[in-house]
């Protein structure tokens, strides 16, 4: 047991290293950015970063969760390779389709987001960054399932360092402002991704595992209704949403058991060392679950 805890602590620390380094460097670079970027540049960058985050979630369609689940369910190396290739080609197809569409309609998107077509080049750069991000995260997930945390850290830190250097050169040296930040962000990701792609080239085999592409689980309408009524009774604001992640409730729903899920907001997302749920959010959630359980009993 102690050995397992030590192994968990070791891998968790190393997996978090890349994110820690990127955040520290981002803080150190703030004086540089405030000098060379205008408020409108910041606004354009953050708008495109937020839009990319939403698109990435939609385009993945739960493939990341499916990959981690079915990789460990596979009974042999051949099965695991099939899972890897399915996730690789699904991610490649979805990201490439988004890239082509984004490049084609960059002008209208710029007009929609910024009331001007002047940011079309920035929009195109953001779609290239989206393509690089999706594929980079997919290929580095292999290091996680194989518990190769050191290689994961090397890839992550290399990405961060290349990104920082490239961004400084583009923003300071070439005066590219917002475009320099967006391009700098994906140059590092794209460079490391191409190196990893050559290193893990067996992924290129055209083979699919249909289970990863199965239809999403549907929650029970009655359970959803009861949870919604409980929220209203407890004075808790809510929205009925779809979840892109995989949950145990999906297994129960697919087995024919009426299921529903209640999500509580959690800073930085769940299942990571930086998650931070506030008790003022947690306790109303407990009250809603209690009221719903009583109604369903």
Q: Which of 171, 188, 212 is the last residue of a domain?
A: 212
Cβ–Cβ under 8 Å, residues 84 and 128: no
Q: Which of 212, 233, 253 is the last residue of a domain?
A: 212
**What is the C-alpha to C-alpha distance for residues 44 and 213, in angstroms, rounded to an integer?**
35
User: 6-20, 36-50, 158-172: lowest mean pLDDT where?
Assistant: 6-20
Same domain, 14 and 64: yes
Same domain, 29 and 109: yes
Indicate whether this model's pTM tops 0.75: no
Closest CA to 97 of 127, 124, 142: 127
Same domain, 90 and 131: yes
Q: Is 280 exposed, middle or buried (0-12, 13-18, 19+ CB in 10 A)?
A: exposed
pLDDT by residue (tens digit) across 220-279?
A: 999 999 999 999 999 999 999 887 666 778 878 888 889 999 988 887 767 666 777 888
**What is the C-alpha to C-alpha distance for residues 276 and 269, in angstroms, rounded to an integer?**
8
pLDDT of residue 277: 82
**What is the C-alpha to C-alpha distance for residues 282 and 269, in angstroms, rounded to an integer?**
14
**What is the C-alpha to C-alpha distance for residues 159 and 124, in angstroms, rounded to an integer?**
21
Domain count, the chain: 2
Q: Is 145 exposed, middle or buried (0-12, 13-18, 19+ CB in 10 A)?
A: middle
CATH assignment at residue 286: 1.10.150.900
Could you give the C-alpha distances from 69 to 90, 147, 210, 257, in angstroms and in order? Answer: 16, 15, 13, 20
**What is the C-alpha to C-alpha distance for residues 194 and 186, in angstroms, rounded to an integer?**
12
């Amino acid at each position: 047991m102690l050995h397992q805890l030590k192994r968990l602590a070791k891998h968790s620390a190393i997996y978090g290293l890349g994110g820690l380094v990127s955040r520290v460097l981002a803080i150190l670079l703030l004086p540089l950015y405030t000098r060379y970027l205008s408020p409108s540049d910041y606004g354009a960058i953050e708008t495109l970063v937020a839009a990319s985050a939403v698109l990435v979630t939609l385009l993945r369609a739960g493939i990341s969760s499916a990959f981690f689940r079915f990789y460990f369910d596979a009974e042999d190396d051949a099965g695991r390779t099939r899972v890897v290739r399915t996730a690789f080609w699904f991610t490649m197809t979805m990201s490439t389709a988004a890239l082509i569409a984004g490049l084609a309609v960059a002008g209208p998107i710029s007009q929609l987001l910024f009331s001007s077509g002047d940011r079309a080049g920035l929009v195109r750069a953001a779609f290239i960054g989206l393509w690089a991000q999706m594929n980079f995260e997919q290929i580095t997930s292999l290091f996680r399932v194989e518990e190769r945390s050191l290689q994961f850290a090397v890839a992550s830190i290399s990405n961060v360092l290349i990104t920082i250097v490239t961004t400084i050169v583009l923003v300071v040296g070439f005066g590219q402002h917002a475009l320099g930040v967006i391009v700098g962000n994906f140059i590092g990701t794209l460079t490391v991704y191409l190196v990893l792609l050559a290193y893990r080239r067996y992924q290129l085999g055209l083979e699919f595992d249909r289970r990863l592409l199965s239809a999403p689980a549907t929650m029970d309408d009655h359970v959803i209704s009861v949870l919604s009524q409980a929220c209203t009774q407890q004075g808790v604001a809510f929205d009925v949403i779809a979840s892109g992640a995989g949950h145990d409730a999906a297994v129960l729903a697919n087995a024919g058991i009426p299921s529903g899920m209640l999500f509580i907001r959690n800073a930085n997302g769940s299942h990571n060392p930086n998650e931070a749920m506030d008790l003022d959010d947690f306790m109303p959630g407990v009250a809603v679950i209690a009221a719903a359980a009583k109604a369903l009993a």
